[in-house]
Structure 1
């Protein structure tokens, strides 16, 4: 939101979105107070509210949002232990990490109401007003943009909860509440909405990259479709590997994207609108009160305040263990984004010590309930270097999709079809070379899965990947010590939603 005025001014110009924030339960009459009777009279009015829907969707990528955490909890790359010094213990999170989730899980309820259905409800209300506007024909691209945002909301709903209500109106009849639809029906809806939205969106080649950033382009939605198709067997019981390749080719064929020199370059506060790798993201500007990136606050050790001269002490929360660290090969430049073992100042020589002169040495987690403050390795993907801070909020934009994912999705889809195997190998090797690794001579599904895990650690990809590859169920790791039943691949419908709407049906076995 730093590069175009309308996005910079989100707080001032999204008054309409404020009308949406409190009316998003399925048992309530309204998703929002915007309605066909309060239609938009200018394109700027409409865009201001579309910006607000982007803001809602950003909660699925932000460090402080349960939408992101609930995806990462339960994988082998993300943990948040309670600490012996106090803080961080949360039974709802522990349930998810142990694959022992119950319908009364508070984190899942927050994801349903405050993240996913806020996106859907907000988009529904904005769409109703644009469809009723006398400017409707001039708002065609904005309508497509909002449909894509809503489709993303349903994508997450389908991915997390499987069988959910499908509703596209601005108002809900309290006497006729939406009913549960099958995961397959939601999948079909998401594919249709993404496909039709892409047709009316501009290509990255048709816009000024810097001034249009960070809004969706055709290529952003083609990438989303590739991701949906990649998991189609999970969602709909049908393979769509060929469609994955087609969508990826739409993006690759523009020649508008390329890998940055290093993975970390995508996550710098100074390299967002001009990045050749970022396909879709959520812009923040904490200096103007427009959200902020708090990965450093939530994930880093308190002593990193000294290391990076931060205006606050990080809260020592999110971390990972040996399972993820041991996937990386010696010399992998992506290790530069991870903090483990003895810690030093940025010069790499001066030990990072506490006030008593003891050097910080980060170890793997030994105790999930009462961990020591040095337990758990850290991911420093969003760099604090060059950041303009506003309290604990950084101005690094949240990344949703990167070009490296397009390359790896296409490679996997080719390999699974047993076609163009040399091309698939070269695509994976492009990603490996970028991180200073040697080429592979052959691929296996396990190698593809692990390369994705190395490339996308903490980017909200791992849970979908583990479910697709099966390792989510069959593998064990720290704090998840037994094989998981496959029905746990979707979360339960929150109990409070079932109480509020008797037309909803709980997922099997919950």
Structure 2
């Protein structure tokens, strides 16, 4: 999607930190015009250095925002969403039930897709690195390859580090994979280590704003994710490096939280329905179908309904008759639902609650009640209720609030236009706040970052924090962004009990090496413990 628009920021809250001394600076009536453009880097127009980067970056679309691969295994295993079995619909051999209940094994299709999608992206990167690239292109591809390896590191731990086309390698331990990801990103940034006073002037990566490509801030965002989870991956915490990486972005980049005055037209506005807003503002605008060039997004995956498909949240979550609400091209599949306890954790006046979820009685294109003539009971009106009767085998067809964060558009096809953020400023605030709090042993040090996001969500500030409260705040901000499983593991909550899930096996923190990959490896891959 290649469009250019101007955002005006009003009453922006700026928070500045030193490494050890926290100080709030509130600047009122701050107004700044910024232009963010992705011209020249979209799937339809090649990229800024020719077509050399198109193939490896395009591989990101597989499994990142659909019901396969990375999104599926990192979302359905967590405590915020599920895929309910509605009679014969969405059973699929029990794979969704296994993900939700943590009973997945080495032959699970979605887990195998995570492996295949990641290595397919790595393969494209390796092929691209064999061609004639500029130093900037080489740095971007190496950083992208490191990101694909981060997905493997997080999901499987022990994988093969393959750096040239057609090559093979022995299976590396998790610590070795961590070190490889770290070194590739540091090399791309032109620094030996992340420090409080690092100088990136020697980096081949630029500071240019190009949401579909990797600049210095995107690479630092990946490093912050890596260091934030370092204790999980290696047993050794790296909180200060996570803080410094996030802090550099916040202190030096032009990105801004999309808040009051940051808006886009609501492409789901039905002409005859007055309750549909004309515009989407703040948090809701970050994830809208026209979110390209949003000032909060540092690096995103480009999705487009005509030339860059793969995002189909509308199909995954909406009930079939909801096709008539927006005049969708196809009838949705009625699968993914939001768990009641997670939905109820949002305060009623939290603007993220309205942006994230579709709840209540549904209406058609003209605002009339939307009916399901195959309803489970005598109430034909589709009503997305928070309560879900059961995970399987006969979940109520309109049970469960639905995902709406990546909002819809009129006459939308099965593939959506919303770009999918990998690194955005809201997450950077949370990473900085958490890393600082953990490094100093005081969760209250994360209050400025948490309260900046609460302010954007229309909520009053918290006056104190602990680990559980921080995790809850992070969950509300990061819903549907493939981070919840990772966060639950880092906070020691992945073995907890939640709706229809009681498994407490810590071995499940890693996915099994897919049996198909072990069988094809001639003995060079071995299974993770516990499978």
Provide the aligned C-alpha RMSD in A: 2.4
1:481 is displaced (CA, Å) by 2.0
Aligned twin of 2:405? 381
Match of 1:365 in 2: 388
Partner of residue 296 from structure 1, selected from 311, 314, 322: 314
Report the counterpart of residue 506 of structure 2 in structure 1: 486
Q: Does residue 417 in structure 1 map to residue 439 in structure 2?
A: yes
One of 65, 70, 76 as aligned partner of 1:67: 70
For residues 411-490 of structure 1, what are the structure 2 equivalents within 5 Å? 411-418=433-440, 423-473=445-495, 475-482=496-503, 484-490=504-510
Which position in structure 1 is the counterpart of 2:348? 330
Shifted more, 292-301 versus 414-423: the winner is: 414-423
Is residue 286 of structure 1 aligned with residue 305 of structure 2?
A: yes
Shift of 1:83: 1.1
SS of the equivalent of 1:146 reads: helix
Change beyond 3 A, Cα 1:406–1:508: same
User: Quick check: 1:276 aligned with 2:311?
Assistant: no
SS at match of 2:71: helix
Alpha-carbon separation, structure 2, partners of 1:351 and 1:156: 43
CA distance in 2, matches of 1:250, 1:380: 32
Any conservation in 1 of the 2:64–2:71 contact (CA below 8 Å)? yes
In 2: Cα distance, 1:85 partner to 1:505 partner: 35
Could you give the per-residue CA deviations for residues 81-131 of structure 1, whole angstroms, max 9, x where no partner exists? 221263454422322211112112222222212x111111111111122xx
The 8 Å contact of residues 119 and 148 in structure 2, kept in 1 or not, is answered as yes
Cα distance in structure 2, aligned partners of 1:357 and 1:398: 36
| 1:263 is aligned to 2:287 | no
Report what 1:228 is aligned to: 226
Q: Distance in 2 between matches of 1:162 and 1:85?
A: 35
Preserved CA contact (<8 Å) 1:226 1:244: yes
Encode CA deviations 1:324-373: one digit per residue, 9 max, x unaligned: 11211121111112446532449998644446983222233222222121
Partner of 1:18: none
SS at match of 1:7: coil
Distance 1:349 1:250 in 2: 48
Provide the C-alpha distance between the structure 1 equivalents of 2:305 and 2:359, rounded to a whole number of angstroms: 32
Is the 8 Å Cα contact of residues 80 and 318 (structure 1) preserved in structure 2? yes
TM-score, normalised via structure 2 length: 0.80
- 1:412 and 1:82, CA in 2 relative to 1: closer, same or farther beyond 3 A? same
Q: 1:88 to 1:185 in 2, by over 3 A?
A: same
Partner of 2:30 in structure 1? Answer: none
3-state DSSP class of the match of 1:359?
A: coil
Give the CA deviation at 1:65: 3.1
Are residues 1:180 and 2:171 paired?
Answer: yes
Deviation of 1:60 (Å): 4.3
In 2, Cα distance between the equivalents of 1:85 and 1:179?
42
Instruction: Please tell me whether the aligned partners of residues 267 and 382 of structure 1 are also in contact (alpha carbons under 8 angstroms).
Output: yes
Cα separation, 1, equivalents of 2:152 and 2:443 = 34
Unaligned runs of 5+ in 1: 15-42
The reply on whether 1:507 has 2:528 as its aligned counterpart is yes
Q: Deviations over 1:385-415 (max 9, x none)?
A: 3x673x3222111222211111111111111
Deviation track 1:458-494 (CA, whole Å, cap 9, x = no partner) reads 1111011000001101x11122124x12221001111
Once residues 479 and 50 of structure 1 are traced to their aligned partners in structure 2, the CA distance between those partners, rounded to angstroms, is 44
The answer for the alignment partner of 1:17 in structure 2 is none
Are 1:122 and 2:120 counterparts? no
C-alpha distance in structure 2 between counterparts of 1:438 and 1:62, whole Å: 32
Displacement of 1:249 in angstroms is 1.2
Q: Is the alpha carbon distance of 1:402 and 1:348 closer, same or farther for their aligned partners in structure 2, counting shifts above 3 Å?
A: farther
CA 1:348/1:285 → structure 2, altered by over 3 Å: closer, same or farther? closer
Q: Distance in 2 between matches of 1:361 and 1:491?
A: 36
CA separation of 1:403 and 1:414: change in aligned 2, threshold 3 A: same
Aligned length: 455
3-state secondary structure, aligned to 1:79: strand
Q: 1:357 to 1:446 in 2, by over 3 A?
A: closer
> How far 1:8 moved relative to its partner?
3.4
CA distance in 1 between partners of 2:79 and 2:258 (Å): 27
Structure 2 runs not aligned, ≥5 long: 3-37, 191-202, 260-281
- Give the secondary structure class of the aligned counterpart of 2:179: helix
Q: 1:145 Cα shift?
A: 0.6
Q: Does 1:406 align with 2:406?
A: no
Secondary structure (helix, strand or coil) at the match of 2:136 reads helix
- Inter-partner Cα distance in structure 2 for 1:73 and 1:375: 17
Alignment partners' CA distance in 1, 2:180 and 2:405: 34
- Indicate if the aligned counterparts of 2:317 and 2:333 stay in contact, CA closer than 8 A: yes
Structure 1, 400-409 or 227-236: larger mean CA deviation: 400-409
SS where residue 462 of structure 2 aligns?
coil
Aligned runs of 1:69-108 on 2, under 5 Å?
A: 69-84=72-87, 86-108=89-111
Partner residue in 1 for 2:338: 320
